[in-house]
Amino acid sequence: MPTHSKIGILCSLIRPEEKMIFEAFRNRGVEFERIDDRELILDLNSMESPYGVILERCINHSRALHTLKYFNDRGVRTVNKYETANICGDKLLTSFALVKAGVPVPRNMVAYTEESAIQAIEEMGYPVVLKPAVGSWGRLLAKINDRDAAEAVLEHKKVLGSYHHSTYYIQEFIPTGGSDIRAFVIGGVLIAAINRKADHWITNTARGGIASNYPLNKDLADICETAAKAVDGDIVAIDVFETPNGYLINEVNYTMEFRNSIETTGVDIPGKIAEYVIELARSRA
C-alpha cells in the first residue's frame, strides 16, 4: 500500500471500541498498522510520515493532541484532526466554538479566581455544575447546591488541583431527571443516538448510566450535525440535554466510546468508522 494511503490506528490500551474497530477493518480486508503511543518516538526534525490516514483512538488526550498536530503538519489526514481534538478536549474551547456557530448550549461561564467564580455562580443561581476544562468520563464534576458547597469546592480546587483546576468552568444545572442523549455523528451525518438514564445526575455509561435507543429526528440531526461542523469533527459523539425548550449541546467527544450503543441502536458504529476511514484513504490513493 502506498504511503500516502496507508492507514494507521493511533492507540495505546485496547478498549472494546478499539477491538471492534480493528475487527471492522479486518472484516473488510483492509490493512492497517497499530501505532502504540507508548512506543512512539516522534522525530520533530523530520517532515516524513509513513502514513496517509490515521484514525486516532488514544486514551490520553495530551498524547492524542500532540501526535495529531505532528501528523497533520506532515500532510497526514487524521480522524479527527488536531483542531477538533484541541477544541473538544477543552470545554471552554468547545463552548466558544458552539456559541460562535449558533448552537444552543446551556448557560456557561468561566472565571479565574475564587471570588469571581462565586460571583459568577451566584449570578447564574444555584444549583450549578463546576467542571474541569479538561477531563472526561464525568471525572471531578461537582454539582454545587449552595454557597457553602461553592466555597468549599473552589478552595479545594485552588489548593489541591493543578493550575488547570483554577480555571473555573461553570455551567447551569439542567434538570433532566438523570437522563441525557448521546448522539453519534460520522462524516457530518447523525447515524445513531442513545438515551442514557442514571440514578445519579451524572449519566455517563462509564459510570453506570443505562443506555436505550433514542429514535433519530430532524431537530436532533440538525443540532448535532451543526455542532459537529462547529468543531470540524469527522467522528464525534455529542452529549445532548433534552429540555422543554428544545435540545442543548453539552459536550462533544472526539475519541468516542460506543460499546453500549451498537446492540442498543442496531447501528454498526465500528463498521461505519472503518468505512469512513477507508474511504478517506482510497480518496488519497
Binds another protein (CB under 8 A): choice among 104, 127, 135, 178: 135
Q: How many residues bind another protein (CB under 8 A)?
A: 26
Q: How far is the CB of 91 from another protein (least distance, A)?
A: 12
Q: How many residues does the chain have?
A: 285
Which x/- pattern, by CB under 8 A, does the window 24-43 give for another protein? ------------x-------
DSSP 186-221: ETTEEEEEEEEE-SSS---GGGTPEEEE----HHHH
Largest CA distance in the chain: 62
* The C-alpha cell that represents 93 in the structure block: 474551547
Q: How far is the CB of 255 from another protein (least distance, A)?
A: 5
Would you say 196 and 210 are in contact if contact means Cβ atoms under 8 Å apart?
yes
Would you say 88 and 82 are in contact if contact means Cβ atoms under 8 Å apart?
no
Binds another protein (CB under 8 A): choice among 3, 19, 177, 208: 19
Phi, psi of 128 (to 5 degrees): -130, 170
115 Cβ contact partners less than 8 Å away, ≥ 6 residues apart: none
Binds another protein (CB under 8 A): choice among 72, 136, 166, 213: 136
Would you say 231 and 84 are in contact if contact means Cβ atoms under 8 Å apart?
yes
Residue placing its CB nearer to another protein in the complex, 121 or 249: 249
Say which amino acid occupies 58: C
Which x/- pattern, by CB under 8 A, does the window 144-183 give for another protein? ------------------x---------------------
Binds another protein (CB under 8 A): choice among 3, 62, 116, 145: 62
Binds another protein (CB under 8 A): choice among 5, 60, 166, 213: 60
**Could you list the residues that contact another protein (CB under 8 A)?**
11-15, 18-19, 22-23, 36, 59-62, 134-137, 139, 162, 237, 253-257
